[in-house]
Amino acid sequence: MKKKLETTYGTTLQGLMFAVNPVKKVVLKTHCTVHKYINMRAVEILKNENYIEEYKFYREHIKPLNLGVTWADQDLKSSNHFFHLGKQKGLYGFSDALTESNKYYNKALSLLKEEELDKAIFYLGATCHLIQDVTVPHHVSNKLLKSHRRFEMWIISRLMTDYSFEAEYGIKRYKDIEEYIISNAKMSSNAHDKYEKIQDMEQRYSKLASEIIQEAQRTTAGLLLDFYEEYKKVFK
């Protein structure tokens, strides 16, 4: 009964959100700029750590990767991009980042086996979006939701001029998608707690943004390597 109520609530809320969805589409291009930036920086990290073959592969296929990372936020799918560490679930009535990322990555691997490479990389991009989202504290703590958009817009306004956002090295790889999601969510929560008491908003946001965006780049680079290994098994 509880599960049925939660599902009904989610469906009702989706109906309400559909009415404001055109507004979301207006800001979607700027929002996904951050995800595209993380993808491109992750590819640069591959080059910096001498994964030259992998670097060239992703440079060649950056378009489907970024199409997937953008698609993941369209048509209310972002409602499923949350993951509460303690409860191991998302927003009430919705799916969660762990469930969705597993679904997308399994789809990517399935398409890869069918040699549908661009489609596979598209779903890899969608998976990247989710492991990047959970590096943001607002995606792993419901109590921070109100300040999510303000923090996001602060990052966008500085993205191309603040070099403290850039990670050069330090690829991080985990054994599966679940570990990527949980590890990034833990990092995100810890980073928030570390800087929460800094009174100056600019200083607090700067320290937090630098830490989480760099981690997003490093773990995205790790996932790109994981996928490339699977690619080599199919396209020998």
pLDDT, one tens digit per residue, over 38-50 is 999 999 999 999 9
CB 115 within 8 A of CB 98: no
Over residues 150-205, the pLDDT tens digits come to: 888 899 888 878 889 999 999 999 999 999 999 999 999 999 999 999 999 999 99
CATH architecture, range 2-234: Orthogonal Bundle (1.10)
Which among 25, 31, 12, 21 is positioned nearest to 139, based on CA atoms? 31
The answer to whether the pTM exceeds 0.95 is no
Helix (H, G, I), strand (E, B) or coil at 84: strand
Which among 39, 72, 101, 60 is positioned nearest to 231, based on CA atoms? 60
What 8-state DSSP symbol labels residue 50?
T
Query: What average pLDDT does the structure give for the chain?
Result: 85
Q: Which residues face 84 on adjacent strands?
A: 89
Q: How far is CA 9 from the centre of its chain?
A: 25
Q: How far apart are CA 102 and CA 95, in angstroms?
A: 12
Count the alpha carbons within 13 Å of 140 in the hemisphere toward its beta carbon: 26
3-7, 63-67, 69-73, 130-134: least confidently modelled range: 3-7
CB 90 within 8 A of CB 96: yes
